[in-house]
Structure 1
Amino acid sequence: MERLQKVIAQAGIASRRKAEALILEGKVRVNGKEVRTLGTKVSESDRIEVEGIPVEREEKVYLLFYKPRGVISSVHDDKGRKVVTDYIGMFEERIYPVGRLDYDTSGLLLLTNDGAFANLMMHPRYEIPKTYIARIKGIPTREALDKLRKGIKLEDGMTKPAKVKVVKRDRKGQHAIIELTIHEGRNRQVRRMCEAIGHPVEKLRREQFAFLHLRGLNAGDVRPLTPHEVKQLRALAESGSM
């Protein structure tokens, strides 16, 4: 279910604000009945008309993208830098990233035009696990890793407990590679967590999002999610909701 004004806006008929005005003016019908209440929710099976013209909804698109480093998690950039939509080819639908990865972070990023799905994937209430591989400066002690496992205090509050393990240690003791799984999506969270234990991130890649992974893909590759994968993601989010 999505808000009526949002569906109208996504169909390209009017902006969200203009869609709200059309509803208030009685120019919108759902299943033949006039609707004047903002916030009315509609399903994909509902018939919507604006000023007597049927609304044709966009086909839902769900993509998995292996974002390279040096790419903006956006659909445009006023500085002329590469953005994620430069890699996905031509779509009539208006596709946007689900959440974001930092400019200097690579890895798995979802793209869609389904706002309800995007909210399910991003909202911390649904606790979607995200796994990162990080090369950090120095070798962390067990005590340092335990801080990440228990939750660590950042400037915007305590993090939830994370899963973390050391994958590889540099023989000279200068670097380590760790695998870190979190259920939140704060700005630069993994980098800030590692900095908080005294081991700044030198390189970072999101390896998994829920059960989705990057195996078989190269940086810059994109593939559609299968209907079964989309269904599984929805079920996972809904099972984790409070």
Structure 2
Amino acid sequence: MRLDQFVSQASGIPRSETPKLIRAGRVSVNGVALRKASTHIDPTAQVLFDAEPLSLPGSIYLMLHKPAGVISATEDPSHRTVLDLIDHPHRHTLHVVGRLDKDTTGLLLITNDGEWSHRLMSPKHHIPKTYLASLAEPLTQSAAQQLRDGVQLHGEKHLTQPATVEVLPEQQVRITIHEGKYHQVKRMFAAVGNRVVALHRESIGGLQLDPQLAEGEWRVLDGFVL
């Protein structure tokens, strides 16, 4: 593991700022001051920053109720990101698991566990994701059946995997998919001649969005494994 990566993850200091701290001799590894940020170290080594011990934080799992108007990214020069909503000491080590469109609300997971997020988003694991969609027009029975059977998305070679579709009052539909194609839910409804006017993710796998979380709020998932 690179020294600057270790210092950033262990301290919560942005990685872009750690090289100058290392060059200043403020970081030592096993009693030796190292001044090269790219030096590779054993993560179990004794690392001191200003004579105070540093240790990696371990796996972090967060649940966020994403509001509309923020983007699913770690940083952006012109838009507010979901990480701007997270007040966590190791915020700069975190990344977003998958993404939700800027105008989509609901459950978003954030972590520092790269292997876990890859496994969660990999299509081969078929993790179900459930959305509540508000539509421009009522969904017909035939259109609902098309979604259940799989539809052809524009630009795609294969049909979507079968979806679970529950038609609700007031032109709402609860839909569960097992893939994660770009704008998939919106494109699926477009493929059957309808349009999504609002979209909200309710769950991923067996994890439901905490109803106590208001939009923009988050909480830690202790010992969480999905």
* Alignment TM class, shorter chain as reference: 0.7 to 0.9
Q: Decide whether the 8 Å contact of 2:64 with 2:107 is kept in 1.
A: yes
Equivalent position SS for 1:66: strand
Q: Does 1:224 align with 2:225?
A: no
Given that residues 71 and 102 in structure 2 are in contact (C-alpha distance below 8 angstroms), is that contact kept between their aligned partners in structure 1? Answer: yes
Q: Does 1:182 align with 2:177?
A: yes
Q: Which residue of 2 aligns with 1:163?
A: 164
The 8 Å contact of residues 28 and 49 in structure 1, kept in 2 or not, is answered as no
Amino acid of the residue matched to residue 219 of structure 1?
E
Q: Shift of the alpha carbon at 1:12?
A: 4.6
**Unpaired segments of 5 or more residues in structure 2?**
9-14, 17-38, 48-52
Equivalent in the alignment of 1:91: 89
Aligned CA RMSD, in angstroms, stands at 2.5
Instruction: Find the aligned partners of 1:29 and 1:225 in 2 and give their Cα distance.
Output: 29
- Relative to structure 1, is the Cα distance of residues 114 and 141 closer, same or farther in structure 2, using a 3 angstrom cutoff? same
The aligned runs of 1:38-77 (5 Å cut-off) are: 47=44, 56-77=55-76
Counterpart-to-counterpart distance in 2, 1:133 and 1:9: 42
Of 109-118 and 57-66, more deviation after overlay is shown by: 57-66
TM-score normalised over the length of structure 2: 0.75
For the residues of structure 1 that align with 2:137 and 2:4, how far apart are their CA atoms?
50
Q: Using the alignment, how far apart are the partners of 1:224 and 1:195 within structure 2?
A: 36
TM-superposed deviation, 1:87: 1.2
- For residues 66-120 of structure 1, what are the alpha-carbon distances to aligned partners after superposition, in whole Å with 9 as ceiling and x for unaligned? 00000110111121x2111111103235111100000010110000011011111
Aligned residues: 189
What is the TM-score normalised by the length of structure 1? 0.70
Report matched runs for 1:112-191 at 5 Å. 112-154=111-153, 155-156=155-156, 157-169=158-170, 176-191=171-186
Q: Structure 1 residues 186, 10: CA separation in 2 closer, same or farther (over 3 Å shift)?
A: farther
Alignment counterpart, residue 193 of structure 2, candidates 194, 198, 209: 198
Identity over aligned pairs, percent: 38
Q: Deviations over 1:40-90 (max 9, x none)?
A: xxxxxx84699xxx99434221000000000110111121x2111111103
Q: 1:28/1:82 Cα in 2 relative to 1: closer, same or farther (>3 Å)?
A: closer
Contact 1:108 1:206 in 2 (8 A): yes
> Compared with structure 1, are the counterparts of its residues 85 and 29 closer, same or farther at alpha carbon in structure 2 (3 Å cutoff)?
closer
Deviations 1:189-235 (A, max 9, x none): 000000110110000000111122222221111011121xx23x1xx
In structure 1, the gaps of 5 or more residues are: 16-26, 31-45, 170-175, 234-242
Structure 2 CA distance for partners of 1:84 and 1:28, relative to 1, 3 Å:
closer
Where has structure 1 moved over 6 Å in runs of 4 or more? none
